[in-house]
Amino acid sequence: MSPDPSLRTSSDELASRSDDQLVELLVRRPDLASPPPRGTGVLAQRAMSAASIALAGEGLDLLSVAVVEAFLDCARLAERERPGDSHHDLLGPVSRDDIVSRLGRRALRADVDARLTYLSERALIWPSGLSSGRKATSWVAASHLPSALPWRAPHLLGPMASVDSSDIADRVAALDERPRELLTTLAQGPALGRSRDAAPDADPSAPVPRLLAADLLARVDEQTVELPPQVGQVLRGEPPLITATLREPVLAGDPSRFDVDAAGAGEALELLRHTADLIGALGDAPAAVLRSGGMGVRELRRLAKSLGVSVTRIGLLVEVLAAARLIGAGVPETMDALSTDEVFAPTTAVDGWRHQDPERRWATMATAWLDLPRRPWQIGETDRDGAIIGALVSESFDAAAPLLRRTVLAPLTETERSVPVSVDDLVALLGWRHPRQLRRLSRRVVGETLREATELGLVAHGSLTSAGRALLELDPDAEDSTALVATMASSLPEPIDYFLVQADFTVTVPGPLTPSLADRLALVADLESGGAASVYRVTEDGVRRALDSGRTAAELSALFTEHSKTPVPQSLTYLIDDVARRHGSLRVGVASSFVRCDDAAMLTEVLRSDAAAELALRALAPTVAVSAAPLREVIERLRGAGFAPAGEDSSGTLVDLRSAGVRVPARQSGSRRPAKRGRIGPGQASTVVTRMRTADRADGPITAQATSGSGETTSTLIQLALQTGRRLRIGYVDAQGGASRHVVKARSLAAGQLVADEEAGDADVRFALHRITRVELL
């Protein structure tokens, strides 16, 4: 039976929309624009397809899903009451009042009207054309509309829609072992299950019919059942999806008494400190590359032990640094590494990054994490085969991870500043907004995402920091992060240029030091504890390290005298002077290596030591000896024997023996940000709409002022178009026999060819006159 001609089709509805409305539709449903459809008829067919409707269903919230379920339920009821009025590929018409009545008091009328408008703007439903007034009161939809639902059965209209979670738990607790196992299997895996016992005439004592009778399962057809999402969340211990009322949950609470931005800035500084330590550790001892290309858990544990942090923390830092191309796998470029195997080490880009301001270094880390297509929180867990997941391995890859992070953090931007949000409240809101993602947006995923955001300084005390808001407000395709850097700079405490020296050789730093002072202090003292207030300790090895770099005892004493707010202990001055007095009395140079000493007695003592035998030292003069061992090895062996040698070059000047660390080449592959797929800008959408309008005009009805032949009449119409500037609609058959229609503006007619500019298309298109089948003036 043919469709009722009084019902409006999707093609008619889309053709009646303005260009701006079509542009908005393509921006909201970008799959409709790829490839560009030829006319609104093709656009309508594409918009009514099951695959496109399923993609559009990703953006439906719980109330929109309920409206769709009510629409489908009313359409089925109308079809049963009027079986002869079926419209093939259309559902409906369904009136607004029927939908409102079906949802009852669970939703406000204004909210239902807003969702109907939302669905109509996205061409999931459209006015039926039967309304008497300007405002639509009934709608129709494509037969594939059920594809927009996140489930197969009508769970928001079914018996479980008004049942409390505690009641569900009681029903599950009353089950026998076998039915409970079936529910647990469906809760942990796909919610759909196949069973012959799903038929209405099945044995009522079987587990599936018993679960259907208790409303803990829903029947899809005679061989398929589905676990209601409310039951699945109770079985998984997730915050329940509230379906008794369809109103959106609200994130509200009392503002925190803590300074959220200050706490976030403290976490950012701690992140940068651990990052610098990790880069240094990998520079000194690069990590091996697994056969699969990742970094193994054994290496992560080694790094975690070296830095004094957890493996989870190390895994996060490794993933983010690799995404920012600050560490990578490659063959080392330095002479310190003798192996030609690939290792994980800092890249050559890390040295420039380390000299940037803290806020810029943090911005690099934060943006890399937000766009990271991986799940660092899974590192250390076991995969399906029981193997432990390492860093940078394929098991933790997830192309949807960047979108998921933005989805989890987006509701925090809508709350008042400093208002803490609990994980359960956030999971409940996300479940309402994204019912298709109920399984993915679990308490574990949301909690781990918030934990990582907290470690990066984006979230503090359960609320978003100012820097976190600035990061989420950045255009994903923009490269300029000036606003983000400025926001973090305003949150970071002002650098200080002083510290407090104690009698036990500890140096307390009550805040972040200026970069130059921090480098000078780190050269002579070892960090014992970091954080907002750091504690360093001056040791004999630290003083010797500073002297090796070319510093003098006077410079070290001046460092503490000028920058300490407390009196410098005399014992510290004695320590510096004592190490300096012994430092450099032995000089090691290159012969391969030579040892010289102004004190002949000391050199004699060196030659009698075990280190001399190991190094094969040979005396050339009372104050000079040589060895075939490298300079660095000679110094290390002599220091191990209790001496305090210093290195010198050929001119006798002290040289800095500290290793710069291993470096691997930085791999450049274009923009660091991943490509944003599935998006279309208003400009691109406008171009597509213009071409669709042109195609509609080309395929429009033929007017009286047209010719279907060739020769003089065709040429006459073309000449008339050239004289008047009017457009032409031509029918054309190419050399392969393909027929097409074009709307053009003629430019010239000569040598049996029409040269014209195609509307919303190419310029200077040539049409052979003998292949033109029809010409029409527009």
| pLDDT reading at 593 higher than 90 | no
Q: What is the pLDDT of residues 610-630, one digit of tens each?
A: 888 888 888 888 888 888 888
Q: In this structure, which long-range contacts are made by residues 547-554, counting pairs with CB atoms below 8 Å and at least 24 apart in sequence?
A: 547/579, 547/580, 547/583, 547/584, 547/646, 547/654, 548/646, 548/647, 548/654, 548/656, 548/657, 548/658, 549/523, 549/656, 549/658, 550/654, 550/655, 550/656, 551/523, 551/524, 552/580, 553/577, 553/579, 553/580
Sign of the CA dihedral with 169 first, then 172, 177, and 179 last: negative
* pLDDT value for 434: 94
Beta bridge partners of 288: 343
Residue 155 domain flag: no
Residue 156 domain flag: no
Looking at residue 777, its amino acid is L
Helix H or strand E segment including 718? helix 712-724
Looking at residue 729, its amino acid is R
Helix H or strand E segment including 308? none
Average pLDDT over residues 468-493: 86
CA distance 778 to 772: 16
Residue 600 domain flag: yes
Q: Give residue 496's pLDDT band: very low, low, confident or very high (50, 70, 90).
A: confident
pLDDT higher for 500 or 732?
A: 500
**Angle at 777 (CA atoms; ends 774, 778), nearest 5 degrees:** 125
- 553-563 vs 570-582: helix crossing angle, rounded to 10: 160
CA distance 693 to 691: 5
Helix H or strand E segment including 63? helix 62-81
Same domain for 461 and 317: yes
* pLDDT value for 335: 44
* pLDDT value for 757: 82
Same domain for 386 and 310: yes
Neighbours of 361 (CB within 10 A): 22
Output DSSP code: residue 254: P
* pLDDT value for 1: 36
Task: Break the chain down into helix, strand, coil percent, rounded to 5.
Answer: 45, 15, 35
Q: Does residue 645 sit in helix, strand or coil?
A: coil
Among residues 244, 675, 236, 246, the alpha carbon closest in space to that of 440 is found at 236
The residue out of 562, 581, 600 marking a domain boundary is 581
Same domain for 451 and 343: yes
CA distance 484 to 268: 13
Same domain for 576 and 557: yes
Same domain for 419 and 300: yes
* pLDDT value for 336: 46
Average pLDDT over residues 40-61: 93
The residue out of 449, 467, 491 marking a domain boundary is 491
Looking at residue 550, its amino acid is G
Token reading at 296? 């193994």
Q: Give residue 51's pLDDT band: very low, low, confident or very high (50, 70, 90).
A: very high
Within 285-349, residue ranges assigned H as helices are 297-307, 311-323
| pLDDT reading at 195 higher than 80 | yes
Same domain for 384 and 409: yes
Same domain for 211 and 125: no
Q: Give residue 452's pLDDT band: very low, low, confident or very high (50, 70, 90).
A: very high
Confirm if 316 and 327 have CB atoms less than 8 A apart. Answer: no
Beta bridge partners of 165: none
Average pLDDT over residues 666-682: 59
| pLDDT reading at 437 higher than 60 | yes
Residue 473 domain flag: yes
**Angle at 195 (CA atoms; ends 190, 201), nearest 5 degrees:** 140
Confirm if 374 and 674 have CB atoms less than 8 A apart. Answer: no
In a 13 Å sphere around the CA of 554, the CA atoms on its Cβ side amount to 0
Confirm if 493 and 556 have CB atoms less than 8 A apart. Answer: no
Same domain for 431 and 310: yes
Average pLDDT, the chain: 85
Sign of the CA dihedral with 476 first, then 480, 481, and 487 last: negative
pLDDT higher for 407 or 579?
A: 407
Looking at residue 652, its amino acid is G
| pLDDT reading at 454 higher than 90 | yes
Average pLDDT over residues 563-585: 86
If one counts the domains in the chain, the total is 6
| pLDDT reading at 86 higher than 70 | no
**Angle at 547 (CA atoms; ends 544, 553), nearest 5 degrees:** 105
Residue 676 domain flag: no
Same domain for 84 and 125: yes
* pLDDT value for 591: 63
Q: What is the pLDDT of residues 662-672, one digit of tens each?
A: 777 777 544 44
Same domain for 561 and 589: no
Q: What is the pLDDT of residues 626-651, one digit of tens each?
A: 888 887 788 888 888 888 888 877 66
Same domain for 275 and 221: no
* pLDDT value for 367: 95
Residue 708 domain flag: yes
The residue out of 604, 624, 647 marking a domain boundary is 647
Highest mean pLDDT among 46-55, 338-347, 552-561: 46-55
Looking at residue 192, its amino acid is L
Token reading at 701? 């009805």
- CATH number for the domain spanning 773: value is 2.30.30
CA distance 684 to 679: 10
Query: Which residues are CB-neighbours of 587 under 8 A, at least 6 positions away?
Result: 595, 596, 597, 645, 646, 647, 648, 652
Place of tokens 């393509």: 26
Among residues 575, 570, 573, 568, the alpha carbon closest in space to that of 502 is found at 568
**Angle at 152 (CA atoms; ends 148, 153), nearest 5 degrees:** 120
Among residues of the chain, what percentage have pLDDT more than 70?
90
Average pLDDT over residues 720-730: 81
* pLDDT value for 426: 94
Of the given ranges (5-14, 368-377, 440-449, 521-530), which has the lowest mean pLDDT? Answer: 5-14
CA distance 77 to 72: 9
Looking at residue 22, its amino acid is L
Q: What is the pLDDT of residues 326-371, one digit of tens each?
A: 999 888 865 444 456 789 999 989 988 988 889 999 999 999 999 9
- The pTM of the full predicted model, rounded to 2 decimals, is 0.79
Query: Domain residues for 599?
Result: 585-647
CA distance 174 to 169: 9
Q: What is the pLDDT of residues 390-406, one digit of tens each?
A: 999 888 889 999 999 99
Looking at residue 366, its amino acid is A
Average pLDDT over residues 21-27: 92
Dihedral (C-alpha) 584, 587, 589, 591: value to the nearest 10 degrees?
A: -170
Same domain for 337 and 265: yes
Average pLDDT over residues 206-232: 91
Pairing of strands 224-226, 287-288: unpaired
Residue 329 domain flag: yes
Residue 554 domain flag: yes
Within 289-394, residue ranges assigned H as helices are 297-307, 311-323, 350-354, 358-370
Average pLDDT over residues 698-719: 65
* pLDDT value for 405: 95
Query: Which residues are CB-neighbours of 131 under 8 A, at least 6 positions away?
Result: 137, 138
